[in-house]
Amino acid sequence: MGQLEVEAAEYSQDFKQTIVYCPKCGERHVHQAESWAVNAKGVFFNGTWYGFTCNCQQDVTFMLSFESVPMLVGKNYLVVRPAHSFGEIDGEIVNFEEQRTEVEVLPKPTTVIVCDGESETIEAIPEHLARDDWYAVRIVGSGKRHWLNTKGCQVILL
């Protein structure tokens, strides 16, 4: 019987357990992070494949993906943006190195300051910043505050 690949369906609040459903029979499986490759803080890695054999004898391979897991206000996270490149500028491919940033999640404001270079106004938070993949954060160490989009990032609870 061949392997079936799925993504983990649910995560515990501390990210140390995940629930995976067998795609063949639908049986629910709870997996502990301690049984997988974990970092020094005991958190499992995003983008790594893990596997098990269900009671129905189906081999199941699953991937952990935190992009859909919301970050919690007041918690600290390591946000890893993988190395990537895009297009060409003047015949050169633009490359970006991996970026690792420790952040504290702040409450998302309902208003923002809009500056056009001459004047400042306070307006309701723009629609794109109100989406679930945008967070108000403080950089741990520097204290700088800014917006963070987590799309394409690995997010690890510290």
Token output for 113: 């300051």
Task: State which amino acid sits at residue 134.
Answer: W
Token output for 77: 């996270």
Task: Tell me the CA distances in angstroms from 92 to 81, 86, 97, 98, 99, one per residue in order.
Answer: 22, 10, 16, 19, 21
Largest pairwise CA distance in the chain:
68
pLDDT per residue of the chain (158 residues) written in tens, 0 to 9: 455 555 555 666 666 677 788 888 888 888 765 444 444 444 445 455 677 888 999 888 776 655 556 788 999 988 888 777 777 778 888 888 888 899 999 999 999 998 888 999 999 999 999 988 899 999 999 999 999 988 777 777 77
How far, in Å, CA of 70 to CA of 13, rounded? 10
pTM, entire model? 0.57
Collapse the DSSP code of 35 into the 3-class scheme (helix H, G, I; strand E, B; otherwise coil) and give the result.
helix
